[in-house]
Chains A and B, each alone.
Chain A
Amino acid sequence: MLVLDNIHTHYGKIEALHGVSVEIKKGEIVSLIGANGAGKTTMLMTVCGTPQASAGRITFQGRDITHQPTASIMRSGIAIVPEGRRVFPGLTVTENLHMGGFFNTKAEISKSQAHVFELFPRLKEREDQRAGTMSGGEQQMLAIGRALMSKPQMIILDEPSLGLAPLVIKQIFEIIGQLRDEGITVFLVEQNANQALALADRGYVLETGKIRLHDTGKNLLANPEVRKAYLGG
């Protein structure tokens, strides 16, 4: 579904990704793990076209999106839950959701919204509250809900568990599993490697801008190298 072929990304003169190749198939959960500064977020953002790859090719559903502007990539069936959630703080929960479904008809929006409220009943309770005044966990739910509003084929999640209470993290991971059951392909970046790999069909390990390992989630969890570096022994 999504193929990154030998992707290089630069920030100015500094190269952050040194030829990364990743493939994600339809209906999979693929986790990308790696240390701080390995280039995980850069890789996700390169898929979204900010920044654009300086070399290599990205295709989504067979279509070359390497040099497409961000807005049109994001309208082609990809949605992102970015690092730090980035909900619109001054907009209410409903307004944030409507921004997610900006290009859909009113009927589609109310249908997706009902679905999001079903997944996250907490959001329904906070319907008219400004997003900036909610807790981190609620904001994370809102960010996921907003991404679902566009009815994406693939959803990219960047560190959805960051800074959240264990109970909320559990809930978020349950929802991610549920998304796969609904047929949405999931590309997940996590520092919380244990949970991310346990949930994933396949995983990639990124180290200083290069793919170091690639295997099924189970095998990576059992891999002594991975255990030592990312799972605390």
Chain B
Amino acid sequence: MPDFLYFLQQLINGLAIGSAYALIAIGYTMVYGIIGMINFAHGEIYMIGAYTALIAITGLATLGIAWLPLILVVALVCAVLVSSSMGWAVERVAYRPVRGRHRLIPLISAIGMSIFLQNYVHLAQGSRNVGFPALIQGGFQFGDPDSFQTSISYMQITIFVATLVCMSALTLFISHSRIGRACRAVSQDLGMANLLGIETNRIISATFVIGASLAAVAGLLLGMYYGSVDPLFGFIAGLKAFTAAVLGGIGSIPGAMLGGLILGVSESMTSGYLSGEYKDVVSFGLLILILLFKPTGLLGKPEVEKI
């Protein structure tokens, strides 16, 4: 029984981190799905979301506001607004002017954007890590109090619920709304969508904004979960989320969700049963293994086309 509880604990931890990876991974996969390029500044957009949330929380604290739901909503709204305008700006500055050129050019301009944003936060917020208040504390415990006990913190539950809400909203939006349908059409044939009178630039901007908003949600959640942020906060998380997106099949939204969860669980299992030192080895090893046998990722598939 304790063995099972221990396993359950790792699973819960992994799913929590994995959910957050999945939220970030959506941004990579949607942008790739539409313009066929990786947004290398996406990790920074997530980091800025976390900082914005922190600034909002600190601001409300100085104003003496202590009602938790209000703090969370304000922090979330601020983070989403700032991150999504960043996402929009990244597309306007780093992608749109060089679209249609050689593929390396937007890649380099996006990396430039990432370096700029990272260093801007270094300058504006300092390079040390800053404590992020643990707003949501406590949790449940079950199992025999004398041996191993599995615990689920309220923070983890918040992550699950928030991710579930975001993913369901996104899925509904993509599959049923008019703009969501246009997003899918543009990702399948941008030129044809343009020939139907659709302003494809707006749809491209919309995907950057949607991806950035989800990254901001992840920024707030993981900021609270880890308890601190620093300007490099987005680098590793971005790399992991990118791995998750590729693992699940880049361009596929369910793939990004699945990839995030698999990556999170495999990391926590490695930490729990081997050692924390090996978790990156295992996650990137897993990526290589999956790509060897399924080069398009788990749910990515070559397009079905009949001529």
Decide yes or no whether A75 CB sits under 8 A from chain B. Answer: yes
| 8 Å CB contact of B188 from A88, A98, A103, A163 | A88
Interface centre among A50, A71, A146 (most CB of B within 10 A): A71
Q: Known: A91-B184, A99-B181. Contact between A139 and B306, CB under 8 A?
A: yes
Tell me if B189 and A102 are in contact (CB < 8 A). Answer: no
**How far apart are the CA atoms of A82 and B189 in the complex, in Å?**
12
**How far apart are the CA atoms of A194 and B210 in the complex, in Å?**
51
Smallest CB gap from A92: residue in B? B181
Q: Which of A86-126 contact B (CB under 8 A)?
A: 86, 88-91, 95, 98-100, 102-103
The smallest C-beta distance from B207 to any residue of chain A, in angstroms, reads: 16
| 8 Å CB contact of B306 from A48, A50, A98, A134 | A134
Tell me if A133 and B194 are in contact (CB < 8 A). Answer: no
Decide yes or no whether A130 CB sits under 8 A from chain B. Answer: yes
Q: Which of B179-221 contact A (CB under 8 A)?
A: 181-182, 184-185, 188-189, 191-200
- Residues of B with C-beta under 8 A to A130: 304
Decide yes or no whether A84 CB sits under 8 A from chain B. Answer: yes
**How far apart are the CA atoms of A99 and B197 in the complex, in Å?**
10
Decide yes or no whether B305 CB sits under 8 A from chain A. Answer: yes
Tell me if B305 and A82 are in contact (CB < 8 A). Answer: no
- Residues of B with C-beta under 8 A to A90: 184, 188, 303-304
Tell me if B197 and A133 are in contact (CB < 8 A). Answer: no
Tell me if B195 and A48 are in contact (CB < 8 A). Answer: yes
The smallest C-beta distance from A3 to any residue of chain B, in angstroms, reads: 21
Tell me if A86 and B304 are in contact (CB < 8 A). Answer: no
Decide yes or no whether A136 CB sits under 8 A from chain B. Answer: yes
Tell me if A91 and B195 are in contact (CB < 8 A). Answer: no
| 8 Å CB contact of B196 from A95, A133, A134, A150 | A150
Tell me if A88 and B191 are in contact (CB < 8 A). Answer: no
Tell me if B304 and A74 are in contact (CB < 8 A). Answer: no
Decide yes or no whether A72 CB sits under 8 A from chain B. Answer: yes
Tell me if B306 and A133 are in contact (CB < 8 A). Answer: yes
- Residues of B with C-beta under 8 A to A89: 188, 303-306
Decide yes or no whether B101 CB sits under 8 A from chain A. Answer: no
Decide yes or no whether B178 CB sits under 8 A from chain A. Answer: yes
- Residues of A with C-beta under 8 A to B198: 71, 99, 102
Smallest CB gap from A70: residue in B? B194
**How far apart are the CA atoms of A150 and B196 in the complex, in Å?**
8
Tell me if B192 and A136 are in contact (CB < 8 A). Answer: no
The smallest C-beta distance from A217 to any residue of chain B, in angstroms, reads: 27
Q: Known: A91-B181, A99-B185. Contact between A132 and B192, CB under 8 A?
A: no
**How far apart are the CA atoms of A90 and B193 in the complex, in Å?**
13
- Residues of B with C-beta under 8 A to A88: 184-185, 188-189, 192
**How far apart are the CA atoms of A130 and B196 in the complex, in Å?**
19
Contact with B along A57-86 (1 / 0, CB 8 A): 000000000000011101100011010101
Decide yes or no whether B307 CB sits under 8 A from chain A. Answer: yes
| 8 Å CB contact of A136 from B188, B189, B304, B307 | B307
Would you list 18 pairs from A and B whose C-beta atoms are within 8 A, ordered by A residue?
A50-B195, A74-B195, A74-B196, A74-B197, A80-B195, A86-B189, A88-B192, A89-B188, A90-B188, A90-B303, A95-B181, A98-B181, A99-B185, A99-B196, A102-B196, A102-B197, A132-B306, A150-B197
Q: List the 6 closest A-B pairs by CB distance, nearest first.
A: A74-B197, A75-B197, A86-B192, A132-B304, A88-B188, A88-B185
A79-B196, A89-B188, A132-B305 are known contacts; what are 19 more A-B pairs with Cβ within 8 Å?
A71-B199, A75-B197, A86-B192, A88-B189, A88-B192, A89-B304, A91-B188, A95-B181, A95-B185, A99-B181, A100-B196, A102-B178, A102-B196, A102-B197, A130-B304, A133-B304, A133-B306, A134-B306, A139-B306
Interface residues of A, Cβ cutoff 8 Å to B: 48, 50, 70-72, 74-75, 79-80, 82, 84, 86, 88-91, 95, 98-100, 102-103, 130, 132-136, 139, 146, 150, 163
